[in-house]
Amino acid sequence: MNKLLLKNGIVVSGKKHFVSDVLVEGEKIKKVAKNIKTLGTEVQVIDCSGKYIFPGFIDGHTHFDLSVAGTTTIDDFKSGTKAAISGGTTTIIDYGTQYKGETLKKALKNWLDNANDGVSCDFGVHMSISDLNDNVKSEIKEMIRDGVTSFKLYTTYDIKLDDDDLFSAMKEIGKYDGIVGVHCENDGIIKELRSKIKGDNNKKVLSHALTRPAIAEADCVNRLAYMSHETGTAFLAVHVTCKEALDEVKSAKEKGYRVYGETCPQYLTFDDSVYNDRFEEASKYVCAPPIRKKKDVKALWDGIIDGTIDIVSTDHCSFTKKQKALGKNDFRKIPGGLNLVEYRGIYLFDAYIRKKITIERMCELLSENPSKLFGLWDRKGYIKEGYDADFVIIDPKKSTTLSIDSQVSKSDYCVFEGKKLNGKIEKVFLRGVQVVDENKNIIENVGKFLKRRLYREI
């Protein structure tokens, strides 16, 4: 059995950080204490003095191998998980999608098959339900039994559910204590606004943002919060982008509803000036919901600090410039999504160094809270005896410049091109094995499917 001793690192949890050693035996953490003595020469010892040791990051929102707007994401499970782990994300949970007419069982099989070519980090699958009927409802219990304990519902796109089905699916999921993540955007408002776009405005990327307004998002978060309360089903508002939607999450929390908020680095960084008249550049930022205003960026950071936002995920949904160009003559055809799965960890570490968040909050947002919400609290997200030996070691004295030159994702651009961040991911361990060295993958395809438990409240 391999033995590993991380010496004198700064171990981080959601409650505190402290200097300690961490002993690993096989895939698990054996002991967390100062001055651990080991006998024998078979122990690999790594000096972590002055470096932070985080529990492996968990990204609860990725789309690998997803069909969007007549094309498929450029990152499949193989390249997507390789990119994820290069940036310290040792677990992803991808949105498996039930296409019309499929059973959930078939949809899950499709998604597990997607992973057959190899995965470089551990992974779970949320199940997106797009076609609800009695048979599908009866499968929800089986999904949960098989470790798929979280579900996704859409209120827009052709995979959307109408209110009656949203409510019905939530009731069924709630019966078995599953959690539901919802893409919140009022489809009626979007459709009406889009039908009014004519002529040259069809070629403007800005039309994408103008036809998906903040109130369309807030309206849905509000309604889903009430449905969640009525059905007793925990609800995660995924990719919250704006103050209006954030206020709805906050107000639901204040009422004691089991409502949680997620946001992503793109919404914490950019404002709608990215939707300029240069198509190739502007289309890179097309995602749904869209990038909002400067005031929203500020509101989201406030939400991170005051606890309205519980997790930061990426919504990694990657395309090439050529794929984005499918919408050159009609903004409706631009495939939506950004490729950020490898950047989230260092992005938030930089926010810590710049004193925007504490190191403990960073650990909650990236590791502990997703571990709780997505049913991994028994093995991932914490540096504790008995937990999986997933670690990210960050050197705070070094820096990282994000660029297409070093990008692992297969997309051919980096929206953070040239951005210099504090800190460098030095090593990543997955279940006791070092798989990344200085952001470079050194061991690939050792990830496993995770059957997850029921969620735990934050």
Provide the binding-site residues for ligand DUC, judged by CB under 6 A: 63, 68, 183, 287-288, 315, 317, 336-337
Q: Nearest approach, Cβ of 118 to ligand DUC (angstroms)?
A: 23
In Å, how far from its chain's centre is CA 10? Answer: 25
Q: Nearest approach, Cβ of 97 to Zn ion (angstroms)?
A: 10
Q: Nearest approach, Cβ of 174 to ligand DUC (angstroms)?
A: 23
The binder of 287, among Zn ion, ligand DUC, none, by C-beta within 5 to 8 A per type, is: ligand DUC
Residues facing residue 97 across a β-bridge:
128
> What is the CB neighbour count within 10 angstroms for residue 258?
19
Q: Nearest approach, Cβ of 61 to Zn ion (angstroms)?
A: 6
Q: Which residue bears the tokens 């999504």?
A: 337
Q: Nearest approach, Cβ of 168 to ligand DUC (angstroms)?
A: 22
Closest CA to 262 of 313, 296, 197: 313
- CB-wise, 60 or 87, nearer to Zn ion? 60
Question: Tokens in use for 289?
Answer: 């919901």
Residue closest to Zn ion, measured at CB: 315
The binder of 342, among ligand DUC, Zn ion, none, by C-beta within 5 to 8 A per type, is: none
Closest CA to 12 of 27, 36, 26, 32: 32
Q: Does 165 bind Zn ion (CB under 5 A)?
A: no
- CB-wise, 183 or 361, nearer to ligand DUC? 183
For residues 415-454, one letter each, b for 16 or more C-beta atoms within 10 angstroms of the residue's C-beta and e for the rest, the string is bbeebebbbbbbbbbbbbbbbbeebebeeeeebeebebbe
- CB-wise, 63 or 431, nearer to ligand DUC? 63
Residue closest to ligand DUC, measured at CB: 336
Reduced to 3 states, what is the DSSP secondary structure of residue 236?
Answer: strand
Q: Build a one-symbol-per-residue string for 267-306: x at contacts with Zn ion by CB under 5 A, - elsewhere.
A: ----------------------------------------
- CB-wise, 71 or 441, nearer to ligand DUC? 71
- Applying CB under 5 A, the span of 134-142, 223-231, 310-318, 358-366 interacting with Zn ion comes to 310-318
- CB-wise, 319 or 347, nearer to ligand DUC? 319
Alpha helix (H) residue ranges in 155-264 = 163-175, 187-195, 206-210, 214-231, 243-254
Q: Nearest approach, Cβ of 407 to ligand DUC (angstroms)?
A: 19
For residues 173-187, one letter each, b for 16 or more C-beta atoms within 10 angstroms of the residue's C-beta and e for the rest, the string is bbeeebbbbbbbbbb
Cα distances from 193 to residues 89, 271, 451, in angstroms, run: 38, 21, 42
Alpha helix (H) residue ranges in 87-133 = 104-114
- CB-wise, 6 or 288, nearer to Zn ion? 288
- Applying CB under 5 A, the span of 312-320, 398-406, 415-423, 444-452 interacting with Zn ion comes to 312-320
- CB-wise, 315 or 342, nearer to Zn ion? 315
Q: Nearest approach, Cβ of 401 to ligand DUC (angstroms)?
A: 26
- CB-wise, 172 or 315, nearer to Zn ion? 315
Region of 415 please: left (phi>0), alpha (psi -120 to 50) or beta.
alpha
381 and 371 Cβ atoms separated by less than 8 Å: yes
Q: Nearest approach, Cβ of 157 to ligand DUC (angstroms)?
A: 8
Q: Does 315 bind Zn ion (CB under 5 A)?
A: yes
Give the Cα separation of 209 and 169 in Å (integer): 30
Our CA angle for 98, 99, 105, nearest 5°, is 40
- CB-wise, 42 or 158, nearer to ligand DUC? 158
The binder of 337, among Zn ion, ligand DUC, none, by C-beta within 5 to 8 A per type, is: ligand DUC
Give the Cα separation of 327 and 199 in Å (integer): 14
- CB-wise, 36 or 68, nearer to ligand DUC? 68
- Applying CB under 5 A, the span of 286-294, 302-310, 315-323, 416-424 interacting with Zn ion comes to 315-323
At a CB cut-off of 8 Å and minimum separation 6, what does 37 contact?
A: none
Q: Nearest approach, Cβ of 63 to ligand DUC (angstroms)?
A: 5
Q: Nearest approach, Cβ of 239 to Zn ion (angstroms)?
A: 6
What does the binding site for Zn ion look like in residue numbers (CB under 5 A)? 315
